[in-house]
Structure 1
Amino acid sequence: MSVIERKQRSSNRTGATAFALALLTGVLGSGCGDDGTSNPAGQSGGAGQGGGGGGQDGGDAFIVATRVWDDTATNSYFHVLPSIEPGTEVDPSQALEIPGSARLFAFGGLGWFGIGEAEAPTISRYTLDGSNKLVKGDSISFQPFGVQSLWPTNYIISSTKVYHPDRAGEQIVVWNPTTMEVEGTIPLPDTHREGYLALYAYGSVLRGKTLLISVGWFDWKTTDTILPETGLIAIDTETDTVVRFDVDDRCGGITQPVETASGDAYFVSSALAGAAYHLDRLESEPCALRILKDADAFDPDFHLLLSELSDGAIMGDPIPAGGDGLFLRVFEPDLATIEEETKTSGVTSQPAWHWWRWDTATNEAAAIGELAPSPANVSFFEVDGRVFTIDEGSGSTESTLIELTAEGGPKLGLKTPGYLHGLAKVR
């Protein structure tokens, strides 16, 4: 089994955005899924800001989640570290080891973090003891509600209410991280498209009491195609009911929103959508939609083709860049090997994607010269207002954090063995 195939079996990706986006950090990227279908659900996913969690009063504490696999097994490691700066020691023998592709859940500002199991839809809360060791607490199972496996996404509503999107089950599970109880589900039958997975976004946007979640439709099992439309679910977070479901046929393959300093939220096509368009498996050109800061629906007057920003090149995969900026990935066909049977995930997993920054206020975009081309299937994390991604070593045997928003340009940080798929500050 190849590294890419192993990732598709063992990882997924997360996205994070504005208020209350819970980042269940997992491999995000164009090509990885944790639902057991080997689908490249990937979008740059984010995770990151945890809180409290007990343990010693002094000093920072970060949890770094890594994953190591070979042709026979996958193991996950959860490291408690005092720093994520270069030179910090990462010793797997001191980490919490869990078989399979377990994933980190950390809810910014709530003082809550946990670990999701690899083989069952079960989440366990963890805290730190006086020696900064991870201590397992109460667990919650979504299995009685029809959930087969966990995805790396949660939408935080409050300290007592979190939404977990069950994409395969076309529903949202409403659960309480304080009491560790499931309080109900929100059926989403209107999101069904025969033969396609309804991929509820890796992030959400809150407008008053209304939570907005985009939907993209992907088929990785048979045709490797993406539908040329984007759904928008509007949920009343007080009654936990769907109040509206819109479909916009101007743009497809969206999996990640980014809310900028202006308050506007941008919904931008994924790198997977760009790959599908390049392979003639998506009819609509990669593009961006917008929801204005005081609105709860897509702006009918805003539809931007990403090629207008990149001189015609394929572009996608939005990552928050601070202020009114977004990081995007731009595809360089000359750096990729594409054959007739190449999958969309086979395009995004090649080191053929440049880093660009788009200023939504001026509508200008430019390449980031400090970063070499890399796969588009990397994770991103938000910690203390900073945005990080990773430089994935050959064969995913090593990862290096890159602080994208560092002053003066991207800066290298912590180096870890294995694939770094989760990061949260818990103290």
Structure 2
Amino acid sequence: MLSSTVFTPDSASSFVRVIEDPGTPAVVNADDALEVGGAAALFGFDGQRMFALGSSESPVITRHVVTSDGRLEEDGELSLAGGGSGVASAFRRPGLVPFVSPTKAYFIDDVTKQVLVWNPTEMTLDGAISFASADREGLVIEVGERAVVRGEHLFVPVRYRTVEESDAGIAAALVFEHATDSFVGVVEDDRCGDTVHVVEASDGTLYFGSGTLGATFYALQRPAGYPAPCVLRIEPGETEFDPDFYVSIPSLVGDRPAGRLVAGVDGNAYVLALHTELLEAPLSDETELYAPWEASAWRWWGIELGATTPGTQLESTPVASGAGWALHAGDLQLVTQIRYDEGRTTLLVPQADGSLRAGLDVAGVPYSIVRLQ
């Protein structure tokens, strides 16, 4: 299942449809799709014929089933606003609605600083876990792209943002224990910042990587002394960053600012590097803070996950902006190559040789994908 949102100057609508293979290089439009108002995302537990849907227009999650002939039927709903939670929107990146099992899922909300516990089978709201104690004075906490359930714990990468829209330069992750639905605490590291991406290796090691915003702040040195983007890790059985492990991302890509760690196949991974030679003007003290991030001046590089070996620039992959994210469905990760000027997105599929191959070409901006039976 794929959900994609089409934006107009005054509104947004999302289209949900069954797709056979997101890696197929085909064109997908809104024809014969379920239309939903607002930005929408799909949440689900792999291998079932059901999924939940959350829209930015309300705090209500609706459950749908896919019939044997491929039709979508609504099959229950749940308001996340129950119990005075304060949650006003059911839209979240699906990586922030992790499923522990078919009967237990979370909804991570950094606005209200809580994790709602809900049952996707019974469609009930079963509790909430506050992480307000992770607040830092003068900073705003924002959750990353996705959370990972590993063993007894849930790990959520976060950034601490300043009120001036910059980043505090702190690597951080929230840690929860899902058996007791409790907040363990926040782990921090000052060796790099903006570690909003997390990848789980086949042995259970969690690798946390800086984002492209952090790479932009590093390139501009705003604030002064902002640390280089990096990869840190939390080893199996541990809940703290490994003090003996550090990989500088610029060292992998010819000393360029880079970030957005994405998993590939068989230990391969990818980062997005800022190629300043593609910018319209050199970086300077007058460069607007987000201008490099928004510019089409970023290129994908293939790297070995967790290694210090220099990476390889993927020459055949189109130039991109620093914006975008990965879509996750089971062990499948797809890179979104968004063409904002055209209102379309190409899904890039990791290959065994470390390359990225173009898959579906989708109308709008795809926020989620769920793997069904």
- TM-score by length of structure 2 reads 0.88
Residue 40 of structure 2 is matched in structure 1 by 102
In the alignment, structure 1 residue 358 sits paired with structure 2 residue 303: yes
In the alignment, structure 1 residue 255 sits paired with structure 2 residue 201: no
Contact kept? 1:165, 1:172, Cα under 8 Å: yes
Give 1:396 deviation, angstroms. 4.0
Residue 243 of structure 1 is matched in structure 2 by 184
Distance 1:243 1:124 in 2: 30
Residue 92 of structure 2 is matched in structure 1 by 151
In the alignment, structure 1 residue 208 sits paired with structure 2 residue 151: yes
Distance 1:355 1:200 in 2: 24
Equivalent of 1:411 in 348, 357, 372: 357
Q: Deviations over 1:235-257 (max 9, x none)?
A: 22111112343322222111111
Equivalent of 1:398 in 316, 339, 344: 344
Residue 139 of structure 2 is matched in structure 1 by 196
Secondary structure of 2:255's counterpart equals coil
Give 1:172 deviation, angstroms. 1.0
Residue 41 of structure 1 is matched in structure 2 by none
Unaligned residue ranges in structure 2 (runs of 5+): none
Give 1:66 deviation, angstroms. 1.8
Equivalent of 1:226 in 147, 167, 175: 167
Amino acid at match of 1:181: T
Distance 2:135 2:318 in 1: 39
Distance 1:98 1:207 in 2: 33
Give 1:291 deviation, angstroms. 0.9
Q: Deviations over 1:284-343 (max 9, x none)?
A: 221121111232211011122222222321011000112322210111112224683624
Give 1:231 deviation, angstroms. 2.7
Amino acid at match of 2:80: F
Distance 1:208 1:387 in 2: 21
Unaligned residue ranges in structure 1 (runs of 5+): 1-62
Equivalent of 2:2 in 56, 64, 83: 64
Distance 2:300 2:197 in 1: 17
Show the 5 A alignment for 1:254-273. 254-273=195-214
Provide the aligned length of Structure 1 versus Structure 2: 362
Give 1:394 deviation, angstroms. 5.1
Closer, same or farther in 2 for the Cα pair 1:304/1:240, shift >3 Å? Answer: same
Residue 262 of structure 2 is matched in structure 1 by 319
Closer, same or farther in 2 for the Cα pair 1:86/1:197, shift >3 Å? Answer: same
Residue 16 of structure 1 is matched in structure 2 by none
Q: Deviations over 1:370-407 (max 9, x none)?
A: 21221232232244644322333351422222212266
Closer, same or farther in 2 for the Cα pair 1:355/1:335, shift >3 Å? Answer: same
Residue 420 of structure 1 is matched in structure 2 by 366
Give 1:224 deviation, angstroms. 1.7
Residue 374 of structure 1 is matched in structure 2 by 320
Distance 1:89 1:189 in 2: 44
Distance 2:38 2:148 in 1: 32
Give 1:84 deviation, angstroms. 3.5
Residue 274 of structure 1 is matched in structure 2 by 215
Contact kept? 2:23, 2:349, Cα under 8 Å: no
Closer, same or farther in 2 for the Cα pair 1:171/1:404, shift >3 Å? Answer: same
Distance 2:365 2:177 in 1: 38
Amino acid at match of 2:295: Q
Amino acid at match of 2:301: W
Closer, same or farther in 2 for the Cα pair 1:167/1:311, shift >3 Å? Answer: same
Give 1:86 deviation, angstroms. 4.3
Distance 2:336 2:129 in 1: 35
Give the stretch that moved more between structures: 373-382 or 289-298: 373-382
Closer, same or farther in 2 for the Cα pair 1:190/1:359, shift >3 Å? Answer: same
Contact kept? 2:153, 2:178, Cα under 8 Å: yes
Aligned-pair identity in percent equals 25
Closer, same or farther in 2 for the Cα pair 1:138/1:145, shift >3 Å? Answer: same
Distance 1:242 1:385 in 2: 27
Residue 229 of structure 2 is matched in structure 1 by 286
Secondary structure of 1:381's counterpart equals strand
Contact kept? 1:224, 1:281, Cα under 8 Å: no
Give 1:69 deviation, angstroms. 1.8
- Higher normalized contact order (CA 8 Å, seq sep 6+, divided by chain length): 1
Residue 59 of structure 1 is matched in structure 2 by none
Distance 1:408 1:214 in 2: 25
